[in-house]
Structure 1
Amino acid sequence: MRAAVLKEYGEPLEIEEVDEPQVTPDGAIVELEACGICRSDWHGWQGDWDWLGIQPQEGQILGHEPAGHVIATGENVTEVSEGDHVAVPFNIGDGTCIQCRTGHGNTCENVMPLGFVEQVQGAFAEEVHVPAANHNLVKLPDGVSSTDMAGLGCRFMTAFHGLAHRADVGAGDWVAVHGCGGVGLSAVHIADALGANVVAVDLMDDKLDKARDLGADEVVNAGEVDDVPESVKDLSAGSADVSVDALGIATTCQNSVLSLGTRGQHVQIGLTTSDEQGMVQLPTDAMVMQEIEFIGSLGMPPTQYDEIFRMVQTGKLNPSAVVSETVALDDVSDRLASMTDFETVGIPVIDQFA
């Protein structure tokens, strides 16, 4: 099968013929119809995250936002069958640890991030093998397209979990979203659907325009104001109630925290780059005095996808609205390169693999 393979950090992925995956007793093979190209793939392509122990090595197939149809299942798989239309969450759990068994599979004690470690080759390929398929595969509702659902592998579901489960977003709350890439734009749309007022922050006007289309009530171009947190406060009736760092650099993290008022909640979704290597200075005294919460949020448990699907069915959420373009597997390196200068808007999705 054809796959895009990492050979050297920062260099174009090589499109190669590789062996088709073989199904394991607990696994399933999914034939890919769509796979998002995520900024996390960019991090892996750059060689980031060695400090987390998930730095992809030479020969890795990247890609972690897949959707498609099951074409083979192992003898122990009972929850999905050949022909089922599925999405695959990026945070592959083993299905047996205490976190998985208590509904927190996104923080599995033996988590294997899809496309970042050798044990789970990624979905920039015609087929992908999914271990512990009973636990990890999510059946999609009837009538949806794989392209529209690709963001459910990572960015859309990550934003949903952060706002709907980890933070306490209520109707009329002010939510600030710092960084309007794929996960940030998803957060804007989801916060709006949850009844919040939204301030979107970015450096690029085209991304802010897209944020308005997705429900942002106010926008801040961070390159055109002297003080981003004060600008957010001015636009949000004094301060944000919930603020999201959807990018993961020191500036967006600090601005997010400083945008909050008393008992505000900061949600950290973006992971850091090689500049920060996981460490960011924070205004801890202000956080103590104002009882500000710092909340980490990783992916979403597979058991909670039905919440998204119910909101999709009633028209409150539209994951396809964040999809910006469809491309071929051969174009993946160009899209990754464009992310270096933050040139992509929304979620680019591969829908041509052969």
Structure 2
Amino acid sequence: MRAVVVSEYGVLPEVREVAEPSVDAGSVVLKVEATGLCRSDWHGWMGHDSDIVLPHVPGHELAGTIAAVGAGVSGWAVGDRVTTPFICACGRCEQCLEGNQQVCPNQLQPGFNYWGSFAEYVAVPYAEVNLVRLPDDMTFATAAGLGCRFATSFRAVHQVGKVTAGERVAVFGCGGVGLSAVMIASALGAEVIAIDTNPDALALARTYGAAHTLQPPADLTEVGRPHVTIDALGSSDIVQQALQALRPRGRHVQIGLLPAGVNLDVGRLIGQELSWLGSHGMPAHAYPEMLNLVASGNLNPADLVTRTITLDETPAALAALTHTTPAGVTVITP
């Protein structure tokens, strides 16, 4: 099969022929119909993830059709249209049995722990726990974004941040995760403030429901202190701005990765009784609520897809993330 292969961190990957993944017991192999280009893939390419072993194939946001079914997998057949969370949980540990597959200690992540979906085929381990059947009318391009950015934002906004109608929510960073958060928080009835350096991203944020758009350095006191702040990019500076902006007893939700760590103003965290909340993906069993909202028209993840590229165009697009984040979601069709 053809795949994007990283042979050296930070060096432009190449598209070449590699062996197709094997179908192990408990797993399936998918024909990749669409896969998202995400900043997490850039972090992996730059060497920020210790799980990656070179040579490596990135890609963790995916949708496709089942091409092969491993021994012991029931309820799924070749040809089924599916997606999967980027966290493939084991289904057997204490966290999984409690329904918290997103923090499974035995999790495997395509594009990080093993070769991912920037390829024509990809394996999905622990298939019965992690596969999500796609609605017949949902395109693969739309579904690809559900595995990481949209599903991650849905859980972060709705289930972790517990955003409710009438609250003010500030979203820092309007890439795919941030724009998803803007759309979801707005659909929940929140007054959304979108903050980004990119005017095109802010224009999209307005179309997805943002009531206010600001470029940094943003003075949130102009529109009122938020109940909830969300770092959808991953920046120590953003974290400090978000915590300073929150009203007393406000909640900060951290989605963006912070490879270099962060220093918190713990005095303010304590004195204002602020909550710092981490949010990491969403388990497969939680998808139905999100899919129902999509089916009803309350959420429109298809609108987030602004660019489709080929496998051959992917190395350059990955490298370009070093300098800029394109507005909207980029989807690769292998």
One fold, TM greater than 0.5?
yes
Q: Hey, what's the Cα distance between the residues in 1 that align with 2:159 and 2:65?
A: 29
For residue 125 of structure 1, what is the aligned residue in structure 2?
119
Indicate yes or no: 2:200 matched with 1:220: no
Q: Report the secondary structure of 1:262's partner residue.
A: coil
Counterpart among 60, 66, 72 of residue 62 in structure 2: 66
Q: Report the secondary structure of 2:15's partner residue.
A: strand
Indicate yes or no: 2:96 matched with 1:110: no
Q: Hey, what's the Cα distance between the residues in 2 that align with 1:139 and 1:188?
A: 26
Amino acid at match of 2:281: G
Structure 2 residues without counterparts, runs of 5 or longer: none
* Cα displacement string for residues 94-141 of structure 1 (whole angstroms, at most 9, x for unaligned residues): 111111121111110111222112xx3100000111111001111111
Amino acid at match of 1:155: R
For residue 278 of structure 2, what is the aligned residue in structure 1?
296
Equivalent pair of 2:169/2:190 in contact (CA under 8 Å): yes
| TM-aligned CA deviation for residue 34 of structure 1 | 0.1
* Cα displacement string for residues 246-297 of structure 1 (whole angstroms, at most 9, x for unaligned residues): 1111011111122210110000000014xx2xx2111211111111000000
**TM-score (ref. length: structure 1):** 0.92
| TM-aligned CA deviation for residue 340 of structure 1 | 1.1
Aligned-pair identity (%): 43
| TM-aligned CA deviation for residue 49 of structure 1 | 3.0
Q: Hey, what's the Cα distance between the residues in 2 that align with 1:233 and 1:145?
A: 41
Q: Hey, what's the Cα distance between the residues in 1 that align with 2:167 and 2:76?
A: 39
Amino acid at match of 2:177: V
For residue 9 of structure 1, what is the aligned residue in structure 2?
9
Structure 1 residues without counterparts, runs of 5 or longer: none
Q: RMSD between aligned alpha carbons?
A: 1.1
Q: Report the secondary structure of 2:248's partner residue.
A: strand
Equivalent pair of 1:6/1:57 in contact (CA under 8 Å): no
Q: Report the secondary structure of 2:26's partner residue.
A: coil
Q: Hey, what's the Cα distance between the residues in 2 that align with 1:13 and 1:337?
A: 9
Q: Hey, what's the Cα distance between the residues in 2 that align with 1:299 and 1:36?
A: 15
Q: How does 1:263-302 map to 2 (within 5 A)?
A: 263-273=249-259, 276=260, 279-302=261-284
Amino acid at match of 2:95: Q
Aligned residues: 334
Q: Hey, what's the Cα distance between the residues in 2 that align with 1:248 and 1:148?
A: 24
Q: Hey, what's the Cα distance between the residues in 1 that align with 2:268 and 2:162?
A: 20
Indicate yes or no: 2:310 matched with 1:331: no
For residue 149 of structure 1, what is the aligned residue in structure 2?
143
Q: Hey, what's the Cα distance between the residues in 2 that align with 1:313 and 1:145?
A: 12
Amino acid at match of 2:142: D
For residue 344 of structure 1, what is the aligned residue in structure 2?
326
Equivalent pair of 2:49/2:112 in contact (CA under 8 Å): no
Indicate yes or no: 2:233 matched with 1:253: no
* Cα displacement string for residues 142-181 of structure 1 (whole angstroms, at most 9, x for unaligned residues): 2111001111111110011101111121101000000111
For residue 134 of structure 2, what is the aligned residue in structure 1?
140
Q: Report the secondary structure of 1:29's partner residue.
A: strand
